[in-house]
Amino acid sequence: MMKTLSDYMRMAYRMEIVEDKEEGGYVVSYPDLQGCITCGKTIEDAVVNALDAKKAWIEAALEEGIEIHEPDNLEDYSGQFKLRIPRSLHRSLSEHSKREGISMNQYCVYLLSKNDAVYSK
């Protein structure tokens, strides 16, 4: 069954808001709607503009027959994955986590989060 504009507008698409330090204001995009981007002088203006941009983007995609991806859903992720690492790295992570007084799992989450933040910029 083909979805309508209303169907897509009700979906919870993830919105990313980034401060534009050079020009001022805020830039907003929807990662699941490639190329759907707008801006605003304030966060509130940017969000209002983003909803308008989302509607216009979806309308154009429907008219042109462009595939519209449904939003990514956190329910699709368990929060767990298995990772094989060298024994020497395992030992090092274990020692560092003991020194910090936290579990190795917590330490690895900290390291992954810290590194992910660097690449997310």
pLDDT tens, the chain, 121 aa long: 789 999 999 999 999 999 999 999 999 999 999 999 999 999 999 999 999 999 999 999 999 999 999 998 778 888 888 999 999 999 999 999 999 999 999 999 999 988 887 777 6
Q: Where are the alpha helices (DSSP H) in the chain?
A: 5-10, 43-64, 87-100, 104-120
Phi, psi of 89 (to 5 degrees): -70, -40
Q: How far apart are CA 56 and CA 36, in angstroms?
A: 9
DSSP state of 69: P
CA distances from 43 to 17, 32, 47 (A): 8, 20, 6
DSSP state of 1: -
pLDDT on residue 94: 93
pLDDT on residue 121: 61
CA distances from 29 to 17, 89, 103 (A): 7, 38, 37
- Is the alpha carbon torsion for 51, 32, 26, 60 positive or negative? negative
